[in-house]
Structures are given as structure tokens and as C-alpha cells.
């Protein structure tokens, strides 16, 4: 006995994706509510997000959440650069100490 594949209209898929993207609900929750497998709904959402991203020009202004993420990422980069500079100073100091000890042994 073979299983039959369910088919969904584009309108149905769009509505399900809207629940996830616009209402900020999880894929698992929406999939449970509409009786669709999570992976199926996840593919629909990914396809919609990819289409939305492709339709947005690269020089388009940022929305609120994107701007917040940009600020957060810039702060992370600044912190990482600071940590990197400290580590480079420690390495440089360790090299000088090693050189000093090597000269002292001779």
C-alpha cells in the first residue's frame, strides 16, 4: 500500500509562510497547527525568504531589525579587534622575553 502525496495550493503555502514570517511564530508551531511536516514548511519559508532577499536591491535602506543587527555586529567586531590587539601584544612580549632568556643563557 503506497502513500499518496499531498499537494498544496500556492495560496495555502503563502498563508502558511505568512504565519511564520509576519507573525513571528516558529516553524514547528505553525506546522503543528496546519498539519504539515516541519521540513516541508521550512522549505516553503526558505524559498520565500530567498525570493524576498533576491528582490531586495543591495543598496536598499535597512529596516529597524537590520539596523539593530548591524550595530550589534559592529560592536562585536570592535570587541574582537580589541581582544586581537591584546593577544598580539602578549605574543610580542613573549617573543621579547624568550629572546632575552636565550641571550642570557649564552
Q: Which residue has the higher pLDDT, 5 or 15?
A: 15
What residue spans define the domains of the chain?
10-57+81-105
Helix axes 27-34, 10-21, angle to 10 degrees: 140
What is the Cβ-side half-sphere exposure of residue 29, based on CA atoms within 13 angstroms?
7
pLDDT tens profile 62-82: 888 889 999 999 999 999 999
Cell matching residue 105? 643563557
Find cell 591584546 and name the residue.
86
CATH of domain 10-57+81-105: 1.10.10
Percent of the chain topping pLDDT 90? 69
Q: Is 28 left (phi over 0), alpha (psi -120 to 50) or beta?
A: alpha
Amino acid at each position: 500500500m503506497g502513500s499518496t502525496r499531498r499537494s498544496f495550493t500556492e495560496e495555502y503555502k503563502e498563508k502558511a509562510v505568512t504565519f511564520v514570517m509576519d507573525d513571528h511564530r516558529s516553524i514547528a508551531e505553525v506546522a503543528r497547527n496546519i498539519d504539515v511536516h516541519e521540513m516541508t514548511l521550512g522549505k516553503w519559508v526558505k524559498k520565500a525568504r530567498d525570493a524576498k532577499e533576491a528582490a531586495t536591491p543591495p543598496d536598499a535602506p535597512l529596516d529597524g531589525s537590520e539596523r539593530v543587527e548591524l550595530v550589534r555586529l559592529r560592536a562585536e567586531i570592535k570587541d574582537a579587534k580589541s581582544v586581537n590587539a591584546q593577544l598580539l601584544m602578549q605574543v610580542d612580549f613573549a617573543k621579547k622575553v624568550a629572546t632575552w632568556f636565550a641571550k642570557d643563557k649564552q
